[in-house]
Amino acid sequence: MRLRAIAFALVAFGAGAGAAWQAGIAASDLVESRSETRLAATLEAGGHDWARLKADGLVVTLSGTAPDEAARIHAVEAARRALVLGRIDDRTEVASASALAPPAFAVEILRSGDQVSLVGLVPDDGTRQAVAAAVADAGIGTVTDMLETADHPAPAAWKDTVTFGLDALALLPRAQIELAPGRVAVTAVTEDEEERATLARRLRDDVPDGVMIALDLRAPRPVISPFTFAFRLTDEGAEVESCSAETTEDAEAILAAAREAGAEAEECRIGLGAPSADWAEAVRQGIAAVSGLGGGSFALNDMEAVLVGPPAMEAEPLAEAGARLDAALPEVFTVTIRGSAPVDVPEAVSAAAEEPRFRALLSQDGVQLTGPIADHTAEVAIRGFAEAIFGHEKVASATVIADNLPEGWPVRILTAVEALALLEEGEVEVTRGRVTVSGRSLEAEPERELRSFFAGKAAGEVVLDVTYDAEAAAARAEAERPRDEVCAERIDAILAEEMITFASGSAEIAEESAGVITAIAEALQECPGAVFEVAGHTDASGNAEANQKLSEERAAAVAKALADEGAFLVTLEPRGYGPDRPVADNDSEEGRALNRRIEFALRRDEPPTPAETADAANKAAQAEDDASQAGEAEEPGESDEPDGETDEPGRDTPGMDTPGTEPEAEEADGQD
């Protein structure tokens, strides 16, 4: 019995030990799994994807090759902080440092005639000496050597690169040559296009194998003078007779416009000297004008354009086309219009010469000049005179050069143009024996002024049909008035409708006056820089000294309120006058109400008037008298009278002080 019990106990103990062993293994596996998961997440977040983990119980082995020592230390420390139980077995390594990169050998050679600069880094293999010898062989007198050397083998193709670069240096008196292993970049200026092509061909043929070349050879553009363009359109077709452009882009744009008009244009000289950056646009507008006429020609010589109409074209439509062209051309260009004389009738005289008619039209858009003139010199003089009067950008000229014009024709035209300046809008017409002026004027007696102008001038018969535009004259006068005067009138009008009121016996602006303050502030914003005096006034009731103080405080309160409303671009000078400047009789309630007011006076940088000087002297004398009487008993005044100003309901007029409590003795302005 005893042996059986012992055997049973041994079996039971063995089973318990086995179960405990299995439980320990499971617990160890759980710790290892959690440790690996936590550490892997930590290292991944730190960017250490090179690290490897292996958990064995409570020991975690960290291995792998870190890119550098700092990364290795950072990974080990991060793993130790993340491991709650156990320890880290650090078996990490650091990658061996890579071999030093070869130096970046390169040379920049700058040559300007007999002066050369050398900058860069070359191997210490004789390259520097070879460069110096090549420069000497080229006959270059001044050399600035800023080369540095490195004790390192020359890279592949270095010798061929340097040799080719020095050969190029000998060919190019003005150049920048950049040398790098296997690459040569040459930037140079040649004498002309022919030399540029020859050098480019030679350098490309001589470049050695294994070396790349980049060429930027430029030939200076010639100076073209004068800059010209000529285009003709006939029944036989269109033709570009001459063409100039400053850039390749301009040349392409001009030729494209000519081809669109029917010309087989392929060549355009490129050079310096264009009178305007808008040269190509002026040419394009001229081609379009000829195409619109269906024939004729357009020539541009620097800034002077000439538009010639097709044969037998009437002067008026040609002048209209010229006016459109003049308006379309950039400002620096001028236009002269010429008719194409009939070939088969040499004795024919143009209609313009039989009865010449020159017109100058003034409108809101500017001045339009049309009609015959004697020559180009007269055209330039007339247009320049008009531009001096009306402004360069306001004058459009569409004149036609004609023969057999009356004697003194240019002078009569100049007189007519000057007379046009006396009109607001209108027209002057010059014929063989008459000048006609019509339109409207802003002068009250326009014809009287015009007849006075023409008196003594050789203009021939003068016919006037000019009216006075009173409405426009008034509008112009209003527009020319100083802005601050307009502001002052607006403020006076606002106060005439509703005055600024205050709480009884104080400088606090009444709520119902907020709209008046806003309206005045908006008016003041229209005249920045203006200076206004804000004047406070009271009636004569009560104590004079208190009234003076109250008027000053109220003026200051109004000035501050206006500034708060946005009127801070004007200068407001508050000033109190007390009862000294009444506008009505202080013996009646109505009069006293009118005397309690705020006024605005426009101030200018002018000396004080005699009245202002006298007023200042009176105030000074009054102040001296008040000081001498200080402390003496006051004589009974208006404030002691039964009908003195009070705040009883109905006593204040609308727009004045708001009703309040009944005043005590010695009130100021009846409101203290």
User: Phi then psi for 397, rounded to 5 degrees?
Assistant: -115, 130
**Minimum mean pLDDT range among 108-122, 154-168, 347-361, 610-624:** 610-624
- pLDDT value at 337 more than 80: yes
Per residue in 576-591, pLDDT tens?
Answer: 999 999 999 988 888 8
Report the topology of domain 106-218.
hypothetical protein tt1634 (3.40.1520)
Name the 3-class secondary structure at 590.
helix
The alpha-carbon radius of gyration of the chain (Å, integer) is 50
DSSP 510-524: PGGGHHHHHHHHHHH
Q: Which residues of 517-549 are buried (b: 16+ CB within 10 A; e: fewer)?
A: bbbbbebbbebeebebbbbbbbbbbbbbebbbb
Q: What is the mean pLDDT of residues 318-338?
A: 86
pLDDT tier at 170, thresholds 50, 70, 90? confident
368 phi/psi in degrees, rounded to 5 = -115, 120
The pLDDT score that the predictor gives to residue 669 is: 57
Interatomic CA distance for residues 295 and 339, integer angstroms = 12
pLDDT exceeds 70 at position 491: yes
Which pLDDT score is estimated for 354? 53
* Rounded mean pLDDT, 89-96: 82
Question: Residue 428 pLDDT more than 60?
Answer: yes
Tell whether pTM > 0.75. no
In CATH terms, 22-94 corresponds, of 1.20.1440.230, 3.30.70.1770, 3.20.20.70, 3.40.50.80, to 3.30.70.1770
| pLDDT for position 444 | 80
Q: What whole-number distance in Å separates Cα of residue 646 and Cα of residue 662? A: 6
Rounded distance, CA 422 to CA 413, Å?
15
Do the beta carbons of residue 662 and residue 646 sit within 8 Å? yes
Tokens of 495: 């106060």
- Cα(330)–Cα(277) distance, integer angstroms: 10
Contacts of 242 (CB under 8 A, 6+ apart): 228, 229, 230
Q: What is the share, in percent, of the chain residues with pLDDT greater than 70? A: 80
pLDDT at 245: 92
Looking at residue 253, its pLDDT comes to 94
Could you report the per-residue pLDDT of 108-142, keeping only the tens digit for each? 888 878 888 888 888 988 888 888 788 777 777 78
Q: Which amino acid is at 195?
A: E
pLDDT of residue 115: 84
* Position 660 confidence tier, pLDDT thresholds 50, 70, 90: very low
Residues 6 or more apart whose Cβ sits within 8 Å of residue 425: 362, 363, 364, 439, 440
Q: What is the mean pLDDT of residues 510-516?
A: 91
pLDDT value of residue 185: 93
Which run of H or of E encompasses 178? strand 174-180
Per-residue pLDDT of 345-371, as tens digits, reads: 333 333 333 578 898 999 888 888 888
- Residues of the chain above pLDDT 90, percent: 19
Angle of helix 544-564 relative to helix 514-524, nearest 10 degrees, comes to 60
Residue with tokens 């620096």: 332
Residue 279 confidence (pLDDT) above 90: yes
Q: CB of 487 within 8 A of CB of 524? A: yes
Q: What distance in Å separates the CA atoms of residue 395 and residue 368, rounded to the nearest whole number?
A: 6
User: How large is the average pLDDT for residues 391-401?
Assistant: 82
Q: Is the Cβ–Cβ distance between 62 and 92 less than 8 Å?
A: yes
CATH architecture of 483-640: 2-Layer Sandwich (3.30)
What's the token pair of residue 541?
Answer: 């009731």
DSSP 299-366: EEETTEEEEEEEET--HHHHHHHHHHHHHHS-TT-EEEEEEE--SS-TT---HHHHS--EEEEEETTE
**Which pLDDT band holds residue 192 (cuts at 50, 70, 90)?**
confident
Domain boundaries, the chain: 22-94, 106-218, 290-470, 483-640
